[in-house]
Structure 1
Amino acid sequence: MTMVFDILSRYFWLLAIIENGWRYIAQERTAARSGAMSLRTSDEAKSLRRWFAVFHAHPWIIMGIATILGGTPNFSYYFRPQDHNPYVLTWYGVQFCSAIGFTFWAFFYNGAEKIIKYQIGVAFVPRYSWVNTVGRVKFFAALAPIWIVLTMVVATSIDVRLYK
């Protein structure tokens, strides 16, 4: 059992990238089944789906680079930002900057409207139907940076033992 946990904790980032790719493929298939005249098959919708896939994958790519380079041997290091590991702080920083960027896009570049119009969140948000209004998308976009900060505060306040 320990060997399985070792593998999962070391390659968690890879599992997250695979899961993200699976969601992207699922969304592409759903869009293809919706018909040629559907808004979901437009070039803008395809571009937004690709953007969301990259947006969701880049923190895991950063985690993978850190793991491969030996900066963070496994995911437990990400529960200890108080150790000031540069890879962990970069991971949180990228998440925070991405959340700020997403919030800005959702509010000032009609991003929330585009998410609803093209149903972008169907594969990326479990049980998407409850986030099907522009107001709710903006609400969660506004919460995103706060959520990242709270995650870091909680991770800092608990003393997680590093698994080596």
Structure 2
Amino acid sequence: MLLNLFNLFGHYFWVISIVVSLQVFWQSGAVRERCKSDVEFAIDDSKVRWKLFLWMCAPWFAMGIGQRFGGVPTVWHFLKPGDGNPWVALFFLSVFGCWLLAAYWVYLRDGANAIVEHQLIRINGLTGQVKLTPNKVKLVVALMLIGGIAAALTMFSNHMVVPIGID
């Protein structure tokens, strides 16, 4: 039973990730109320959420295409990008592209303000929910990018042990 779940996870991680990405459409109560009373804000909120959803899903669509049509057997193969598979390379190109877009939007455009205004990130600290500011958003995004870069460097170093033999 556990092996079947592991195989299911390995074959459909990209679908699970797209479903999890749908959470971007769950508005907080305050945003829902503001959308009801401010049509312009509601339109902007919808645009921002769709943009973020598409950015979040681009790598998962690339992974899904690689697994369904490109012959990449499982998600575990994506953890070894140094093996030279072009579909894995496409996945990482989409990840890096999303990182560049996110950094540009947050640091050089109005992304940090939009994230605060539309309450797209919620952080809970030791004393409850943290009130976000654009500077806190920039810090969180920087930490996320640093973590992602560290993970990518680890994967590209080819020193990861992954369960590739499981299909």
TM-score range normalised by the length of the shorter chain = 0.7 to 0.9
Q: Mind listing any 5+ residue stretches in structure 2 that lack a counterpart?
A: none
Q: Secondary structure at the match of 1:120?
A: coil
Q: Does the Cα contact within 8 Å between 1:39 and 1:117 map onto a contact in 2? A: no
Distance 2:160 2:9 in 1: 22
Q: Secondary structure at the match of 2:26?
A: helix
Corresponding pairs, count? 160
Q: 1:58 to 1:30 in 2, by over 3 A?
A: farther
CA shift, 1:114, in A, is 1.3
CA shift, 1:143, in A, is 4.0
CA shift, 1:98, in A, is 0.9
CA shift, 1:135, in A, is 0.9
More helix by share: 1
Aligned pairs (5 A) from 1:15-164: 15-21=16-22, 23-27=23-27, 31-33=31-33, 36-37=36-37, 41-122=41-122, 127=124, 129-130=129-130, 132-155=132-155, 156-162=158-164, 163-164=166-167
Distance 2:76 2:107 in 1: 34
What letter matches 2:18 in structure 1? I
Matched, 1:4 2:5: yes
Distance 2:147 2:66 in 1: 23
Distance 1:141 1:40 in 2: 27
Q: Does the Cα contact within 8 Å between 1:59 and 1:91 map onto a contact in 2? A: yes
Distance 2:114 2:36 in 1: 18
Distance 2:131 2:150 in 1: 22
Q: Percent identity?
A: 21
Distance 2:152 2:93 in 1: 10
Distance 2:67 2:161 in 1: 21
What letter matches 1:63 in structure 2? M
Q: 1:135 to 1:29 in 2, by over 3 A?
A: closer
How much is the aligned-residue C-alpha RMSD, in angstroms? 2.7
* TM-score computed with the length of structure 1 as normaliser: 0.82
Q: Mind listing any 5+ residue stretches in structure 1 that lack a counterpart?
A: none
Deviations 1:33-60 (A, max 9, x none): 5562369952112110111111111111
